[in-house]
Amino acid sequence: MVIDGCPPRLELSADQIQVELDRRRPGQSRLVTQRQEADQVEILSGVFEGRTLGSSIALLVRNSDARPSAYDHMRDIYRPSHADYTTEAKFGIRNWQGGGRASARETIGRVAAGAVARLVLEQLTNIEILGWVSSVHDIEAEVDSGTVTREMIEADPTRCPDPAAAAAMTEAIEQIRRAGDSLGGVVTCVARRMIPGLGEPVFDKLDAELAGALMSLPAAKGIEIGSGFSGTRMTGLAHNDPFVPGPDGAPTTTSNYSGGIQGGISNGQDIELRVAFKPTGTISQAQNTVDSSNEAVVLEAKGRHDPCVLPRAAPMVESMVCLVLVDHLLRQRATDVL
């Protein structure tokens, strides 16, 4: 991973990055892939005596538990709802061994860079970003986005801060794993103590860039900001967020259907968003598909795959939000408005 544009003289250590990588790594619980990777990060450049230099920061994480042979039986077969066929259609070649760009393995770079972005936000602002699993399949959590904490999220391997829902999610994920199938769900994320003015109309709106970043995650299939699709069932009067005088001399709002963003620019309220993730495409149940010769075959995939990506997706969502917010924070600081 190479990070450009990080301000100089900020405190940064490998241990600070490692905290976030440990939340994303495989094998951390029985609910995710059982690949055993330490995901130990090394800082190669851009940091001296515990502080950033302002130059490019290069990070390295080494694979230690890759098993290319586990994919031998799928080398000529297109997995349903996977990137096998589309990658080959675009490039005329693909790496069938499981480590390509469509693999969730690539998200380790996002989380490492997101950890640096989070540290920048913490040292330059009071912004706090929290993501949690709010649903798996048809199990919905009851969570107050205003009071949820990192400790509540990390208290359960599901990363769902609602204990009753977390228990039901655990049972559902374990059952689906035994059945050789998979489940999808939703990650909710909130950015608290936001500052107003972040976002660059018209094509670099804050909500547009958040949507692009989050939809680039593997298995992401939808995003809602604020009221999202439910807002289409409201009237304008009901949906508008009325302004009132705020305690710090700036306006505040009595509701937050906008999700903290209006006209593509942050208004100082919490940014609230939800990202939908599809069920994992690689499953062990028999599925009809075709091979590279366009012949019909039946695939029963083998290997160590996530039966549900949601527990590991929460830190990925947080990381992408951190990266987008820090980019816009630095752009705004360059205008000398803040």
pLDDT at 64 exceeding the cut of 90: no
User: Could you read off the pLDDT of 257-275 as tens digits, one per residue?
Assistant: 999 999 999 999 999 999 9
pLDDT band (50, 70, 90) for residue 43: very high
pTM here is 0.94
Judge contact between 270 and 256, C-beta under 8 A.
yes
Strand locations in the chain (E) = 2-3, 41-45, 47-48, 51-52, 57-61, 128-136, 139-140, 185-192, 220-225, 243-244, 252-253, 261-262, 265-266, 271-277, 287-290, 296-299
Backbone torsions φ then ψ of 245, nearest 5 degrees: -60, 135
Judge contact between 130 and 148, C-beta under 8 A.
yes
pLDDT, position 222: 98
Percent of the chain with pLDDT over 70: 94
CA dist., res. 52 & res. 12, Å (int):
6
Mean pLDDT calculated for residue range 155-173: 96
CA dist., res. 80 & res. 155, Å (int):
34
User: Could you read off the pLDDT of 306-326 as tens digits, one per residue?
Assistant: 899 999 999 999 999 999 999
Superfamily assignment of 69-109+126-325 in CATH? Chorismate synthase AroC (3.60.150.10)
pLDDT, position 142: 97
pLDDT band (50, 70, 90) for residue 25: confident
Q: At 231, is the secondary structure helix, strand, or coil?
A: helix
CA dist., res. 83 & res. 167, Å (int):
32
pLDDT band (50, 70, 90) for residue 154: very high
pLDDT band (50, 70, 90) for residue 248: confident
User: Could you read off the pLDDT of 276-312 as tens digits, one per residue?
Assistant: 999 998 888 999 999 999 999 999 887 667 899 999 9
Q: Is the dihedral of CA 310, 312, 318, 320 positive or negative?
A: negative
Q: What is the mean pLDDT of the chain?
A: 93
In degrees, to the nearest 5, what angle opens at C-alpha 328 toward C-alphas 322 and 330? 100
Query: 31: which 2 tokens?
Result: 């609910």
